[in-house]
Amino acid sequence: SSVSRFLPDPKTVAAKLGVDKGPIHLVEAGLPKQLAELGWKVQFDGHHQFEEIPTEDDPPIGKLKNPRSVSRVCQAVAKVVGDHAKKGQLPLTLGGDHSLAMGTISGTLEKYPDACVIWVDAHADINTAETTDSGNIHGMPASFLLGIGPKVEEFSWVKPLLKPHRIVYIGLRDVDQGERRILREHGIKAFSMHEVDKYGIGRVVEMALDHVNPGRKLPIHLSFDVDALDPSVAPSTGTPVRGGLTFREGHYICEAVYETGCLVALDIMEVNPSLADSESAKQTVAVGCSLARSALGETLL
């Protein structure tokens, strides 16, 4: 089947967080061609540009930073992902920071309301407008998708379609107190790096899938933040945290999700080549491409 290649490059949002070069580098590293070589009919209609909202026109709402530009970009991404999904394509979104998941997962849920989400990340990204310290919305997307926390008018377009039993985390190791409380109170399943060490990645992925997709019948949206990987594997990213997934553990997750045959959407997020020396940036871009290939069927044999 075909994978729709659209690569939102949210200039506005990314520019503030410096992640705007990710998509460009991933494409320039040859990802579309690599996926075509796996047999996908790749449709890449260019990077999505978003007009800047000048900072003075986008003051914080409460603590939330760049709320209007983040909202506008994510809403546009939700529409594009939803449209591709409705055409039976598999949207691959290259970020850009993880706030984009508000858009990509909203788009997926429009077509597949029963979809489950596998969120691979060092962070839970589930702060609300109340619990966030930084006000960086890339630490909050999951709370909007779940409809948790106080209403923020600017984000009222995000329908709370995601249910707590339909999301599972793998790779957590830097979760705020407020987020821990939210995970506990809503009974959201999370496999931290402790569980990865304890059970091994094979068992963890099996338990994660058993939790959100017991019969392997539900569509899967895989949202992969490259900072889930150890910084020695993916150094050029916004919030690196030591003690992450090995190169193989990260790829195993992608391979195992592909093997379910349920994948309907994929995000490769937080590749930020502008944050490190060129060698580290190249290494991180290469890992991003490799993860995408693994999630789209590049098996080892």
Catalytic machinery residues: 98, 121, 123, 125, 138, 225, 227, 270
How many helices (H) and strands (E) the chain has is answered by 11, 8
Residue span 132-151 as binding mask against ligand AHI, x where in contact by CB under 6 A, dash where not: ----x-xx------------
Q: How many CB atoms lie within 10 A of CB 204?
A: 24
- Compute the least distance from the CB of residue 241 to ligand AHI, in Å: 9
Cis amide linkage into residue 139, ω under 30° from 0: no
**Could you say whether residue 98 binds ligand AHI (CB under 6 A)?**
yes
**Could you say whether residue 125 binds ligand AHI (CB under 6 A)?**
yes
Q: How many CB atoms lie within 10 A of CB 253?
A: 26
Residue with tokens 């377009």: 157
Name the residue nearer to ligand AHI (CB basis): 188 or 218: 188
Choose among 300, 230, 301, 215: nearest CA to 261.
215
**Could you say whether residue 294 binds ligand AHI (CB under 6 A)?**
no
Count how many residues are written for the chain.
Answer: 301
Eight-class DSSP state of 207: H
**Could you say whether residue 267 binds ligand AHI (CB under 6 A)?**
no
Q: Three-state SS for 49?
A: coil
- Compute the least distance from the CB of residue 25 to ligand AHI, in Å: 18
**Could you say whether residue 16 binds ligand AHI (CB under 6 A)?**
no
Q: Are 91 and 265 in contact, with CB atoms under 8 Å apart?
A: yes
**Could you say whether residue 230 binds ligand AHI (CB under 6 A)?**
no
Interacting residues toward Mn ion by CB under 5 A = 97-98, 121-123, 125, 138, 225, 227, 238-239
**Could you say whether residue 111 binds ligand AHI (CB under 6 A)?**
no
For ligand AHI, the binding residues (CB under 6 A) are 98, 121, 123, 125, 136, 138-139, 176, 225, 227, 238-239, 270
